[in-house]
Amino acid sequence: MRPHAPALLAAVSILAVPVAARAGSQPLRAKHGMVVSQQFAASQVGVEVLWEGGNAVDAAVATAFALAVVHPSAGNVGGGGFLLLRPAKGEPIAYDFRETAPARATPTMFLSEGRYDKERHHEGLLSAGVPGTVAGLHLAWKEHGTLPWKRLVAPAIGLAEEGFPVTEELARDLRRVLPELLKHPASRAAFTREGKPYEAGDLLVQKDLASTLKRIADKGPAGFYEGETARLIVKEMERGGGLVTQADLAAYRPKVRIPVRGQYRGHDVISMPPPSSGGTALIQMLNILEQDDLGAMGFRSAASVHLITEAMRRAFADRARHLGDPDHNPDMPMTRLLSKDYARELRRTIDPQRASVSSPSSFEWPAESEETTHLSVVDDQRNAVALTYTLEAGYGSKIVVPGAGFLLNNEMGDFNAGPGLTDEKGLIGTEPNLAAPGKRMLSSMAPTILAKDGALRLVTGSPGGRTIINTVLHTILNVVDHGMNVQEAVDAPRFHHQWLPDVIRYERHGLSPDTLALLAERGHRLEPIGIQGVVAAIAFDREKGVLEGAADRRWADSAAAGR
C-alpha cells in the first residue's frame, strides 16, 4: 500500500534529514540500494520502490514523478531530459526524451525585425517546446520496469493531492520568482497563497497537478499527449501565442540511443550522446587530461586549474561548432571528437604558462539555464540509472497550464539565437543547433556512469546549464585522480569555463589567493560566483559490497536514501 503523504514524510525525516545535516564529509552507506535526488521526499519515494522489489528504473521513474510535485523549479511533466541505464547484465542504454521544436519553428524565430530578441527566445509560450518527460519515463519503464506503472506514479499523486510541507529552501525559491509567477493567473493560483508567498511549514496542495498525474497513471503517455491534458495545453498555447499544437503532441516520440563511451585511467566512462553535448564534451576533456598527472599537480593548484580550464575551453568550442540533434546533423564528427588521437592534438596546443584566447571567429582548437535536476539510483542487482531532466529556466516559462497544474518548459531557449550570432558574451549562432521543425535542442545534461573491471564504480550528474558538464568532470576527477570518497568529491569547490565568455567562474573561496594570482599571471580572467551545480552521486565499493550516496549540500533539500 502507498503511504499517505504525512506518513511518507515522517519516514523521510528518519532517513533523509541526517544526510544533509550531519557534519564531516562521509557519504550515506547502504548494502542493497540507493536513491539520491534534489529533494528528500522524492528520494524516499524512490527507495520505497526498491523496498518493494522494484528495480533502478522503477525507482528512477517514481522519484522523477515525485520531483515534479516537490521540486517544481526543475522536476517536471512539462519538460524533458535524458535517462542513462547501465544494467547489471547487458549493454548500457540511453533514453532521449528531450523536447522537440513545434512544426512551425524556424531558425530565425527569435529575431525581431532582423535583431535578436531575448524575450522571444527565453520567455513566454513561444519559448515552449513539445514536452518529452512523460513519454520518456514510460518508455524506459515499459522496456525495463517491473512494478506496475500506476504504483510508480501513485506517490506523486498523493504528494500533490494531500500536499506536503514547504521547506525553507522551496519557500525561498518561490519567493525569488514570485514577481514572474504573479503575471500568470494559473501560476499565481498554483504557487502562491492568493498572491502571497508560501512560508516554510505551509502545506502546498496541487489538486490540478494531481488530476493530470491521475490521467498519466491511468493511461500512460496517452493521458498526457491526448485527451484532456493535451486539450488544456493547446488551449493555453492558442491563448498566449505558443506554437505547440495537438499534432505536435501526438507526434512526439522518445528515442533510444547508444551511449557515448570513453576510457579514463582504467575506468569505462558511459554518458549521453547528442542531442546532449554532455557526454561528448566530458569524454573529450577526460581524454585531454589523462595525458597529465593531475594528482601530482595538487588539488586546485594553479597548474591543474589552468590545464583543466584549457581542456574545458577546447571542448566547449567543439560543442558549439559541431554538436546538435543527430537526426538533423548526420555528419557530426563523433569518432574524431571522442578519440584519444584528437585529444593528443588538442593537448599539444595548450601552453602550460599562458591562457589561450577564445574568439567567436575562430575554432582553431579551438547560456543555458542552471535550473535542472538530477537523480541517481542503484538497486540490489547493481542496475544503475542516471537521470537528468529540466524545464530549462527555473520554473520553466513560469506559466502553469490552467486546469492541468504543471509548468511549461522554455526549452526553445536552448536552440541557438539565430544564424551567425556568435559573440564574445556567449551568444551562439552556429548552424547545428538552430531551431527547425521537430528538432531537439542541444543540451548540456550529462548523466554519467563509470565502471571499472566490469563492475559499477560511480553514478553521477548535476543541474547547472552549461556548467553541468564541468561539474560532472570535477566529480570524476575528484574520485579518480584525487582519491576522494564520493561525499568529499561532491563537496569540493568547483569552477567553470565554457569557451565564451572567456572567463573562469569559480565558487567563492574555492581557489586560494595564491592560485588566483598565478592564474591571473597566466592571462586568465576570473569571476567569483555563489554555487555551481547540485550533484547527486552514488559510488560502489566493490570490495566491501557497499553503496555510498552523496547528496550535495549546496541545496539544503538534497538527500540520499538507502536500504
Q: One of 100, 229, 372, 467 is an active-site residue; which one?
A: 372
Ramachandran bin of 426, using left for φ above 0, alpha for ψ from -120 to 50, beta for the remaining angles: left
What is the C-alpha separation between 461 and 445, in angstroms, rounded?
8
Is 372 an active-site residue?
yes
- Asked if 443 and 277 touch (Cβ cutoff 8 Å), the reply is yes
d(CA 144, CA 164): 30
**For residue 425, which of 499, 344, 353, 481 has the smallest C-alpha distance?**
499
Phi/psi for 109 (5° steps) reads: -70, -15
Question: Residue 222: in which H helix or E strand, if any?
Answer: helix 222-225
Please name which of 508, 509, 499, 464 lies closest in space to residue 74, comparing C-alpha atoms: 464
Query: Residue holding cell 532517513?
Result: 15
Residues facing residue 34 across a β-bridge: 378, 562
Residues 6+ apart with CB under 8 A from 312: 285, 470, 473, 496, 497, 498, 499
Measured distance CA(341)–CA(220) in Å, rounded: 46
Torsion of CA 115, 118, 122, 128, to 10 degrees: -20
Q: Report how far residue 201's alpha carbon sits from residue 427's, in angstroms, rounded to the nearest whole number.
A: 41
Picking from 387, 468, 322, the residue whose alpha carbon sits closest to that of residue 79 is: 387
Q: DSSP letter at 411?
A: G
Residues acting as catalytic residues? 372
